[in-house]
Amino acid sequence: MKQKILSSLIVLLMPFIVFCQNGTVQDANIPKDAPVNVKLTDFKNNVLNNEIVIFKSKLNGKEYQGLTDSLGKFSFRLPVGDKYEIYILGFKDSTLNDNVLTIPPTTGKAYYKNPFIVDIQHMPAKSFILEDCNFETGKADLKEESYKVIDELVAYLNRKDDERIELGGHTDNVGNAKKNQILSEARANTVRTYLLSKGIDPNRVTAKGYGLSKPIASNKTAEGRAQNRRTEVTIL
């Protein structure tokens, strides 16, 4: 699931090009890539640590990534003569639309001495749906294909080890409301139990059933009912 980040801001500062003097720098020592300094904050200027920022080449599709430190920063180098789309990796890819870092090409012994400055303001998603997390009909037993997405959630929680989450179980409106409530609680707890079995701290994960009370689509169609049967993750 790719979520568009509609309220994001990026500031790009371009450095000057430095030309090496003949005889002072050997060709083998001339930096071929440009230095890039990245800083990531929210809209209140709070640093965002342990976030993966991806720079995707528009030339060949290759991805370069860095992990923000306790100050919300990291530094790395990128090939020159390319444009890079910038993504922030949440649980699934979250795109910073229309934000592109352009690093013009250099010629001869010219190189970038000072870094490109990339300041990003970003609001992480507060909730997301576990797509393809499916259960046996009328039961709280996970289908085999569900473990892949839950394992991705385990990896996410291991990276974001300061986050606490709620697992919300939801059903459609078919059948008895009370039974749907009980079923939704059981399904949320099934996912929680699996997370704990993978080493996630139980204090970081709560489970709650909402039954049929919070539909996100019409229950009048099979497609809508399928959307309403879901497990939703909320960052606490």
pLDDT at 108: 83
pLDDT at 73: 96
* CATH number of residue 133's parent domain: 3.30.1330.60
pLDDT at 137: 87
pLDDT at 29: 55
* Burial tier of 59 (Cβ tally within 10 Å: 0-12, 13-18, 19+): exposed
> Could you tell me what percentage of the chain is helix, strand and coil, using 3-state DSSP and rounding each to the nearest 5?
20, 40, 40
pLDDT at 23: 33
User: Which residue has 């090939």 as its token pair?
Assistant: 79
pLDDT at 7: 37
Q: Coil, strand or helix: which one is 224?
A: helix
pTM above 0.75, yes or no: no
pLDDT at 32: 82
Residue ranges in the chain modelled with pLDDT below 70: 1-30, 92-98
pLDDT at 92: 64
Among the candidates 65, 97, 121, a domain finishes at 121
Same domain, 45 and 132: no
Distance CA 167, CA 206 (A): 6
Same domain, 115 and 135: no
Distance CA 133, CA 86 (A): 28
Count the domains in the chain.
Answer: 2
Among the candidates 121, 140, 167, a domain finishes at 121
Same domain, 55 and 159: no
pLDDT at 121: 87
Distance CA 95, CA 83 (A): 16
**Encoded tokens for 229:** 């049967």
CA atoms within 13 A on the CB side of 114: 8
Distance CA 158, CA 149 (A): 14
pLDDT at 99: 76
Q: Which amino acid is at 199?
A: G
Helix-helix angle 146-159:177-197, to 10 degrees: 60
Same domain, 96 and 176: no
pLDDT at 6: 34
Provide the domain limits for residue 20. 3-121
Among the candidates 67, 90, 121, a domain finishes at 121
pLDDT at 24: 35
Same domain, 206 and 104: no
User: Which residue has 């990796």 as its token pair?
Assistant: 89
Same domain, 85 and 110: yes
Choose among 35, 55, 165: nearest CA to 111. 35
| DSSP sequence for 52-112 | EEEEEETTT--EEEEE--TTSEEEEEEESSEEEEEEEESSSEEEEEEEEEEE----TTEEE
Tens of pLDDT, residue by residue over 74-130, are 999 999 999 999 988 877 656 565 678 999 998 888 888 889 999 998 888 888 899
